[in-house]
């Protein structure tokens, strides 16, 4: 993939965007007015358990197919890359691990936001599979992310009223001013499905 000078990861480190995590940005790309519903403490704990199990499965699967584990939970400002592998040919693969049974669009978008020129490949993984993101998908997502960041920064009022209903998001949204808000989606998040 051709090099992108200012990646989204770089932009998220800059002062105007420090409070926007890749997880939130991925959802804002789909609906700029999305507001995350609060998580219950027990849901968060449950998620951490599911995520740890999925991580072990992803590591085991890669090791069995010849990859070498290079890093676990590589942190940056406001983001976390779950796993970094190196193939037998030296290609660096980043894996964004999800505990969800189904890998969704928001998972793919979030993983694409972690791209920078130091990795050759990004995959979204769960307990069963690894989905490789294409270069085209990553580039397209990076473009959408920059447009969304500009909207959130320069026109926050417009962003707050730009409603783009999405069944997966409306279910976990807490924007009480939105007519599309699900009657059941504002208080409890089903982490096993969303994460
Ligand atoms: S309820 Fe749906 S359409 Fe409304 S702000 Fe939330 S995600 Fe967007």
Q: Does residue 78 fall inside a structural domain?
A: yes
What's the pLDDT at 184? 47
Average pLDDT value over all residues in the chain: 86
User: For 56-100, where are the E strands, in sequence order?
Assistant: 68-76, 79-86, 92-97
Asked whether residue 46 is assigned to any structural domain, the reply reads yes
User: Does 165 sit in the ligand 1 pocket, CB within 6 Å?
Assistant: yes
32 lines ligand 1 (CB under 6 A): no
Q: Is 19 contained in some domain?
A: yes
178 ligand 1 Cβ < 6 A: yes
How much is the pLDDT for 192?
41
**Residues shown for the chain:** 195
Alpha carbon distance 142, 51 (integer Å): 26
pLDDT of residue 15: 65
Q: What is the pLDDT of residue 138?
A: 95
Given pLDDT bands bounded at 50, 70 and 90, which one contains residue 195?
A: low
Count of structural domains within the chain: 1
Average of pLDDT values for 13-33?
A: 85
Task: Examine residue 163 and state whether it is found in any structural domain, yes or no.
Answer: no
Q: What is the pLDDT of residue 161?
A: 93
| Residue 180 burial (C-beta neighbours within 10 Å; 0-12, 13-18, 19+) | middle
Q: Is the Cβ atom of 175 under 6 angstroms away from ligand 1?
A: yes
pLDDT in tens, 32-90: 999 999 888 888 889 889 999 999 999 999 999 999 999 887 666 556 778 999 999 99
| Residue 86: how many other CB atoms lie within 10 Å | 17
- The 68-76 sheet, strands edge to edge: 68-76, 79-86, 92-97, 121-125, 130-132
* Ligand 1 centroid distance, CA of 43 (Å): 22
Place of tokens 């699967």: 61
Q: Is the pLDDT of residue 186 over 70?
A: no
Q: Give the single-character DSSP code of 146.
A: H
Domain of 20?
8-30+41-155
Identify the top-confidence range among 11-20, 57-66, 69-78, 111-120: 57-66
Whether ligand 1 lies within 6 angstroms of the CB of 34 is answered as yes
| Predicted TM-score of the model (pTM) | 0.85
The answer to whether 98 and 80 are in contact (CB under 8 A) is no
With cut-offs at 50, 70 and 90, classify the pLDDT of residue 193: very low
Residue 165, pLDDT > 80, answer yes
**Tokens 């279910």 identify what position?**
171
pLDDT for the residue numbered 139: 93
- DSSP structural state of residue 6: S
148: in domain: yes
Which atom, in ligand 1's list, is nearest to the CA of 173? 6
What does the alpha-carbon distance between residue 123 and residue 129 come to, in Å, rounded to a whole number? Answer: 9
């Amino acid at each position: 993939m051709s090099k992108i000078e200012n990646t989204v990861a770089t932009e998220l480190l800059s002062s105007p965007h420090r409070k926007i995590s890749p997880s939130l940005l991925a959802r804002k790309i789909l609906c700029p007015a999305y507001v995350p519903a609060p998580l219950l403490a027990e849901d968060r704990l449950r998620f951490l358990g599911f995520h740890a199990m999925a991580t072990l499965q992803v590591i085991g699967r890669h090791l069995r197919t010849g990859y070498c584990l290079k890093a676990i939970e590589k942190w940056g400002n406001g983001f976390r890359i779950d796993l970094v592998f190196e193939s037998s040919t030296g290609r660096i693969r980043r894996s964004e691990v999800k505990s969800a049974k189904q890998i969704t669009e928001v998972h793919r978008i979030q993983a694409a936001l972690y791209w920078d020129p130091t990795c050759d490949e990004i995959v979204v993984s769960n307990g069963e599979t690894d989905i490789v993101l294409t270069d085209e998908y990553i580039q397209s997502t990076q473009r959408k992310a920059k447009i969304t960041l500009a909207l959130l920064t320069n026109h926050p009022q417009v962003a707050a009223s730009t409603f783009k209903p999405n069944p997966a998001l409306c279910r976990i949204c807490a924007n009480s001013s939105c007519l599309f808000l699900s009657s059941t989606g504002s208080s409890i998040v089903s982490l096993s499905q969303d994460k």
